[in-house]
Structure 1
């Protein structure tokens, strides 16, 4: 018996629209990461990009549980001594709500070139408007 591997011409990518309003951050991120990878399809292959394009709207209305609004911190470093910066989740949601979802999904994708390729298929918008109407994304409920 041989193992079947999907060929690039066998792949079918869809565009899906996810409304993040009143969704919990981590639960939304796991479902989005699964869609990006293609794990919901029967022809899933761990070494291939056969997932869907995901458009997330209303990123500014995402929810978190517990004390995360005050306790969760995001760090970045300039590379210079003493160059570490930190920003809280509450401030990040106020200034760049798209980055909160992007960082959560990025942490759930592979840490290699495949993960970077998958992340390019994620489109996040703070409000309800998005420029992907021509692709006719299908609204799904996660």
Structure 2
């Protein structure tokens, strides 16, 4: 019986860690992969090119190749890219919120606490007991069944 409970607990912990790592892997770790940075840069370039003569030459990096175009050709493409990045950011945001809710529900359902999370809650309940005059510090950390 105890072996089944231990196996079930390990399985729950594995699922919880797996879900958390999947959620964290969706967040870009480097600025070059960060869609927020790409959106910001696209906005800066669009704002700069709006005031420039449409027939003026400009250069754009496409797939690692520097290409010469006119502002008139580049501006719509930049606007399209910015719009697509905005949609991706919204999608990532909704997925992160959804995964966060799933993870919270999972943790609550199976009473999973992170390291240090229970200690902070335990200290706050102990301090409230002490302030009422009902507890002593000498028995702290002792489990009695």
- Normalized per residue, which structure has more helix? 2
Q: TM-score, normalised by structure 2?
A: 0.25
Higher relative contact order (CA 8 A, sep 6+): 1
- Normalized per residue, which structure has more strand? 1
